[in-house]
Amino acid sequence: MPQIMPMNWLCIMCWTMLMMLILFIVIHFIYKMSPLPQYPKNFSLFFYPW
């Protein structure tokens, strides 16, 4: 790469990743607390670590 990325861009990227992770955890807990017997098929792909 000829140009070094600015520090604030990296920071924005990091915060975006963090917010996405928090959002996924919140959605996971909502599904866990909900009375549905199982996750929707497409959601189970996101949460395979659990």
Asked if residue 1 is part of any domain, the answer here is: no
Tokens of 22: 């928090």
Asked if residue 37 is part of any domain, the answer here is: yes
Instruction: Show the domain range for 31.
Output: 7-46
Q: Say how many residues make up the chain.
A: 50
pLDDT mean over 14-41? 79
Q: Check pLDDT > 90 for residue 45.
A: no
By C-alpha distance, which of 47, 49, 42 is closest to 24? 47
pLDDT of residue 1: 47
Q: For the chain, how many structural domains are there in total?
A: 1
DSSP symbol at 12 = H
d(CA 41, CA 19): 23
Q: Residue 7: what are its φ and ψ, rounded to 5°?
A: -65, -40
Angle made by CA atoms 22, 29, 33, in degrees to the nearest 5: 160
pLDDT mean over 5-20? 82
